[in-house]
Amino acid sequence: MKKVTLLSLVFCLSASLGLKAQQQVSIDLNTNDAKHVISKHIYGHFAEHLGRCIYDGFWVDPALNVPKKDRIRLDIVDALKKINIPNLRWPGGCFADEYHWRDGIGPRAQRPKMVNTNWGGVVEDNSFGTHEFLELCGLLGAEPYIAGNVGSGTVEEMAKWVEYLNFDGVSPLANLRKENGKAEPWKVSFWGVGNENWGCGGNMTAEFYADQYRRYATYARNYPGAPLKKIAGGANSWDTNWTDVLMKKIPLNEMWGISLHYYTIPTGNWTTKGSSTDFGEAQYFSTLKNGLAMDSLVRAHSAIMDKYDPTKKVALVVDEWGIWTDVIPGTNPGFLYQQNSMRDAVIAGSTLNIFNNHSDRVKVASLAQTVNVLQALILTEKEKMLLTPTYHVFDLFKVHMEAKQIPLKFSSPGYKVGNETVPAINASASIDAKGAVHITLVNVDAKQKISINTALNGLKWSKVTGRIVTSAKFTDHNSFDNPNKITARTFTGAKKSGNQLVAELPPLSVVELELK
């Protein structure tokens, strides 16, 4: 297959259902500029000891009538394997900085109980600990990403956890691991040195945390065959000063990455965030506006990092992101259980397009959270399980994993509500090792379809296939009574016409196209 020298995509947005004057938008993609690999770890996930994510999610009552290995729920495992889950971040979140790993090893009946003070004040029995988490990762085929305790822990505690996990030799910690049933080390690579240390992780200043990071990271050893990717606890949303201080005070060779946390709040108000299913177009729009800000946010922090690291050796790790709404009425406020609508799918696709387009700096991301919490992929109710619209978007986007990102340029038509406007379309593209081109497109407009007339210069291709996630209303969602209302379906709205690609994107749609 020849290299694609230029892909020019022409989008025609109907001004109305009456097909008045159409606005044309060109997207240029040049595969000769495809240099940066889209890391599969951009498609990572987050599982905190919070609500029903671990307990009654991944880790269930032995009496529950579902397929299990030990107490790990296997229908969840199978669903996540289907989307090639690359990594899983654990044990938090805020829980990480009150978690003491020794409480979660050894015979379960002898493990001490604790109170989860961050999330609902429930009793944590520590039955799901280090061995159980790493067994789960093994079943998933996912790399573990462990967040260490800097807030209430000690340097020695973290250092010995690394030794317990990774040392292949004779030592008290390696021997203890063997006594607990694991002869060979796990060789865990991704390691977070604390979490949200500006807040629940210790209410530290950036300067104090930077010094603490250097101290903790010094004793988190690289054992033979197990080099660590140490990730500094980065900024809360727009706090670029935090990023600046860390980049200035921590030598680049002492950290693999620096994290960033950003949640999309529909109302922009943390006190009253808005419902996950009961909202109108104005709140749909405000959610879009807040979610699409991720692009500006990544650019702002990347610009700070570029001052100190112009060759981009340090990764930006967006290890908490997603929509955060008010909880479902009648559920525990500390459990953060919310539904997942077509709005969530649109935000998920848009955010993943943003990460793909910043693949030179963004190397890891973690959606919050995997099961039953916030923008979850999976919801459970006793034996029942459903896949959310967000899950199906991840299923579409997995084609980009480890492919080369194709830079693109375009000017989107606007989606206007009231006096404000956001881009109606966003997109990313990649070329895989076999030469197939994948384009993911999101039409955020709740009313207007987008027609595509695409000229493909220099590309010999014979067919286009596609899949789509869409629904009539932005409030539509999957329920336990109707679990397949929104799924990934074959997209029949694209075809080859001469050497042109023509397609039509419905309103509220996430589309993946493959050209071969």
Domains of the chain: 6-37+406-515 (2.60.40.1180), 40-402 (3.20.20.80)
> In the predicted model, is pLDDT for residue 458 greater than 70?
no
Q: Which residues lie below 8 Å from residue 212, measured CB to CB, with a gap of 6+?
A: 150, 194, 197, 204
Note the pLDDT of residue 453.
Answer: 75
Q: Which two tokens stand for residue 436?
A: 């197939």
Cα 486 to Cα 475: distance, rounded to the nearest angstrom: 11
Nearest C-alpha neighbor of 475 from the set 362, 383, 355, 342:
342
Active site residue 320: yes
pLDDT in tens, 407-438: 988 888 999 999 999 999 999 999 999 999 99
> In the predicted model, is pLDDT for residue 250 greater than 60?
yes
Q: How far is CA 445 from CA 298, 333, 486, in A?
A: 23, 32, 18
Active site residue 381: no
Of residues 48, 98, 320, 512, which has the active-site annotation?
320
3-state helix, strand, coil in the chain (%, to 5): 30, 30, 45
Note the pLDDT of residue 3.
Answer: 42
What average pLDDT does the segment 305-319 reach?
98
Q: How far is CA 313 from CA 40, 305, 394, in A?
A: 17, 10, 27
Task: Compare 129 and 28 and report the one with higher pLDDT.
Answer: 129
Cα 33 to Cα 440: distance, rounded to the nearest angstrom: 18
Note the pLDDT of residue 1.
Answer: 40
Provide the pLDDT confidence category of residue 499 given band limits of 50, 70 and 90. Answer: confident
Q: What percent of the chain has pLDDT over 90?
A: 87
Of residues 196, 281, 381, 420, which has the active-site annotation?
196
> In the predicted model, is pLDDT for residue 62 greater than 90?
yes
> In the predicted model, is pLDDT for residue 386 greater than 90?
yes
